[in-house]
Amino acid sequence: MPGTVGEKKSAEFINQQFCKAGVKPIHKKQSTFPFTFKNEDSTVVASVGNIVAKIDTKSEYCIVISAHYDHIGHGEHHSLAPFSNNAIHNGADDNASGVAMMLGLASWCKENQKKLNYDIVFVAFSGEEDGLFGGSYFLSQNLIDTSKIICNINYDMVGHLDKTRPMIEVDGALETEAWNMLLPNDTTSQFIAERSRIRIKGGADHCVFIEANIPAILISTGITSFYHRPTDDLETINFLGMEAIGNYSIELLLRLNNKKELHLFLK
């Protein structure tokens, strides 16, 4: 949960992984940007903050890749499991899977930097579970010129690709018509990519970007029976499915970077 020792350790780990991948802090040596917010139980929470790193291609424009790293602790406010207030909710799918996907893409982008025509900004959001506070603060803190953000690709719960009926959700894809010409074809994937408008307003961090008139999508394998329960653990994760989604994401990034004047095409 935001404001806990666990959040601090998570932030340190993510920073270490960015450093290991060779992805630089967004501002000189600063990559973590704290903020405070009011929780639903009327307490003020001081979050460790968002973690922001960047691959600089000297482009005027950037693509933001994001995932939230906060979860619900012992389920004090958001657990869907009855009588589980003392049980740790590890959040392997929600959203360690999304953070792992983002970190993997950060490593791939650094290794393949010559293929990139736009800057790539990576953001690990905090405060998502309590109301998308991390996404809102990122856009308001002026860490980058928001008018230069071409689009946002957000990952939230990508660890449960169904083995019998593999499908991912591309939420928000129909909010901006041009996504349909940029998203990879299903025939090249190991799953069906279901494109939709935003199903739940305010449901994930990409909604903050869309509300700011920045094209954004959420890639997810959807909500399962493990959602916000102590059973959302490592053993439930479909790693081969995550690898397939990672390959899909790489193809998408290549398509985006190969599109000239992408900022005009998407908007």
pLDDT per residue rounded down to tens, the chain (267 residues): 999 999 999 999 999 999 999 999 999 889 999 999 998 777 899 999 999 999 999 999 999 999 999 999 888 888 888 776 689 999 999 999 999 999 999 999 999 999 999 999 999 999 999 999 999 999 999 899 999 999 999 999 999 999 999 999 999 999 998 999 999 987 767 899 999 988 765 689 999 999 999 999 999 999 999 999 999 999 999 999 999 999 999 999 999 999 999 999 998
> Is the pTM of the predicted complex or chain greater than 0.85?
yes
Integer Cα distance of 199 and 27 in angstroms: 35
Report all structural domains of the chain as residue ranges with CATH numbers, in order of start. 5-266 (3.40.630.10)
Structure token pair of residue 267:
């908007």
∠ CA(31), CA(258), CA(20), 5° rounding? Answer: 30
Integer Cα distance of 80 and 92 in angstroms: 16
Q: Is 127 helix (H, G, I), strand (E, B) or coil?
A: coil
